Amino acid sequence: MKRRKERPPFYGLMAEFDNPTDAVAATRAVREAGYRRIDAFSPYPVEELSEAIGMHRTNMPLIVLIGGLVGLIGGFGMQWYLSVINYPLNVGGKPLNSWPAFIPITFETTVLCAALAGIFGMLALNGLPEPYHPVFNTPNFALASRDRFFLLVESRDDKFERAETAAFLRSLGPREVTDVEY
Partner 1 sequence: MSTIDQPHDDAGIHVTPFPVIEPGHTFGSVTDKISALTLQRRTPIWWFIAFGLSFALANVLLFSIAYLVLTGIGVWGNNIPVGWAFDIINFVWWIGIGHAGTLISAILLLLRQSWRTSINRFAEAMTLFAVACAAIFPLFHTGRPWLAIYWLFPYPNTMNIWPNFRSPLMWDVFAVSTYATVSALFWFVGLIPDFATLRDRAKSKPFKIVYGMLSMGWRGSARHWARYEALYLLLAALATPLVLSVHTIVSFDFAVAQLPGWHATIFPPYFVAGAIYAGFAMVLTLTIPLRVLFGLEDFITMRHLRNSAKVMLATGLIVAYGYMMEAFTAWYSASEYEGFMMKNRIWGGPYWWAYMLLILCNVLIPQILWLRRMRHNTLVLFLVSLVVGVGMWLERFVIIVTSLHRDFLPSSWAMYRPTLIDFSTFFGTIGLFLTLLLLFIRFLPVISIFEMRTILPQAEVKEEEAA
Chain positions 152 to 171 lying near partner 1, rule: CB under 8 A, are none
Nearer to partner 1, 113 or 177 (CB): 113
Site for partner 1, residues 25 to 44, rule: CB under 8 A: 25, 27-28, 39-44
- Using rule CB under 8 A, residue 97 touches partner 1: no
Residue 19 DSSP class: S
Total residues contacting partner 1 by CB under 8 A comes to: 73
Write out the binding residues for partner 1, residues 105-144 only, by CB under 8 A.
105, 107-109, 111-112, 114-116, 118-119, 121-123, 125-126, 128-133, 135-136, 141-144
Q: For residue 12, which amino acid is it? A: G
3-class state of residue 9 by DSSP: coil
Judged by CB under 8 A, does residue 52 bind partner 1?
yes
The rounded distance, in Å, linking the Cα atoms of 31 and 54 is: 8
Q: Which position among 60, 77, 85, 175 is part of the footprint of partner 1 (CB under 8 A)?
A: 60
The yes or no reply on residue 50 touching partner 1 (CB under 8 A) is: yes
Q: What is the secondary structure of 83-135 as a DSSP string?
A: IIIIS---STT--TT-HHHHHHHHHHHHHHHHHHHHHHHHHHHTT------GG
Q: Report cis status (omega within 30 of 0) of the bond before 100.
A: no
* Residue 85 touching partner 1 (CB under 8 A): no
